[in-house]
């Protein structure tokens, strides 16, 4: 295990991930829903079946498979090592990004909030990773990226938010004043 390095109030190495029980349960539920819809269509849908009964299982299959694909390809784990950032996925190739290669981080809202992490890959080509902002402890993750990446470009408003997160962490680690008796 790498030696722990203190950066601000958060320690390295640090590890964040989705709850695996919840993640695999949702994948199983999606697969079962799609499977049952296929079974229903094969068993009960005939030529004379009303159009609505033909369309609804098809829509259910589409939604279930879309949900399954999202769980398989979205960010699953984030590991902060002392020299690099490791991003893990279930059905995609994992990414190892040296801190020096991280260029920028942006928080934007398109229906829901997303984090856009721009970095240089092994070949020097600029890549952008889109991560849903509902990732567990995303503010801590962004703070560690801010602390460890020397070439990071960040918007002023996001910088203020991360400094507030740091201040909140510092206040939580301090012991509350003792009451005088």
Smallest CA-to-CA distance from 86 within 108, 119, 123 is with: 119
Q: Which residues pair with 80 in a beta bridge?
A: 14, 85
Q: What are phi and psi of 43, to 5 degrees?
A: -85, -40
Distance CA 42, CA 168 (A): 56
Give the C-alpha distances (Å, rounded to integers) separating 30 from 40, 65, 139: 15, 7, 29
Give the pLDDT of residue 171. 80
| Chain-centroid distance, C-alpha 166 | 20
The reported pLDDT for the residue numbered 1 is 32
- 3-class DSSP state for residue 57? helix
Quick one: three-class SS letters along 17-34? ECCHHHHHHHHHHHHHHH
Residue 71 burial by CB count (10 A; 0-12/13-18/19+): exposed, middle or buried? buried
Please list the pLDDT of the chain residue by residue as tens digits (181 residues): 333 434 455 566 889 999 999 999 999 999 999 999 999 999 999 999 999 999 999 999 999 999 999 999 999 999 999 889 999 999 999 999 999 999 999 999 988 999 999 999 888 899 999 999 989 999 999 999 998 988 899 999 999 999 898 888 788 765 555 555 5
Say whether 7 sits in a helix, a strand or coil. Answer: strand
Cβ 102 vs Cβ 151: under 8 Å = yes
- DSSP letters, 70-114, are HHHHSEEEEEE-SSEEEEEESSS--EEEEGGGEEEEEEEEESEEE
């Amino acid at each position: 295990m790498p030696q722990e390095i203190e950066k601000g109030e958060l320690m390295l190495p640090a590890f964040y991930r989705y709850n695996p029980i919840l993640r695999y349960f949702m994948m199983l539920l999606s697969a079962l829903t799609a499977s049952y819809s296929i079974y229903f269509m094969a068993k009960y849908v005939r030529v004379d079946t009303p159009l609505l009964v033909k369309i609804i299982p098809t829509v259910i299959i589409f939604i279930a498979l879309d949900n399954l694909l999202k769980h398989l390809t979205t960010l699953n784990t984030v590991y902060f090592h002392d020299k690099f950032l490791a991003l893990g996925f279930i059905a995609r190739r994992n990414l190892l990004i040296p801190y020096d290669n991280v260029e920028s981080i942006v928080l934007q809202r398109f229906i829901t909030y997303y984090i856009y992490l721009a970095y240089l890959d092994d070949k020097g080509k600029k890549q952008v990773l889109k991560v849903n902002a509902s990732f567990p402890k995303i503010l801590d993750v962004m703070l560690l990226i801010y602390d460890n990446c020397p070439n990071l470009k960040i918007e002023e408003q996001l910088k203020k938010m991360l400094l507030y997160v740091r201040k909140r962490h510092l206040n939580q680690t301090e012991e509350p004043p003792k009451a005088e008796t």
